[in-house]
Amino acid sequence: MMDRKEAIRYGIPLLLATVLVTVVIIFGLASQNPDGFEWSLFDFAGVTEPTGGFEGIWAFLGNSTIVDVMTGIIGIVSILFLGYAFFWLTSRRTK
């Protein structure tokens, strides 16, 4: 079993790598350019892009790049915190 110092020494780089990979994947998925399947649906099949009725819980802040970045950071940090709290609560030893 690792002690606390080893867990921090290995955990921080792992956490940073996870955040980096998550950000790269999310920014790749958030492209405004449709992929080949979407393009063929829009151009050849005449399918229109769906519009949603829910604009999100941060819609009152407006639509700008800084709002997108800040809400993304808030979402990533909150998920990481919830994951850490879950694993901390479930891995505590009973004495």
pTM of the model: 0.43
Task: Report pLDDT for 81.
Answer: 93
pLDDT at 17: 87
Per-residue model confidence (pLDDT) at position 95: 59
CA distance 46 to 23: 33
CB burial of 74-83 (b: ≥16 within 10 Å; e: otherwise) equals eeeeeeeeee
| Burial class (CB within 10 angstroms; exposed 0-12, middle 13-18, buried 19+) of 91 | exposed
> Low-confidence residues of the chain, pLDDT below 70?
1-2, 28-36, 93-95
pLDDT at residue 29, rounded to an integer:
63
Distance, in Å, from the CA atom of 87 to the CA atom of 79, rounded to the nearest integer, reads 12
Question: How many angstroms separate the Cα of 49 from the Cα of each of 32, 34, 39, 42, 54?
Answer: 12, 10, 10, 7, 15
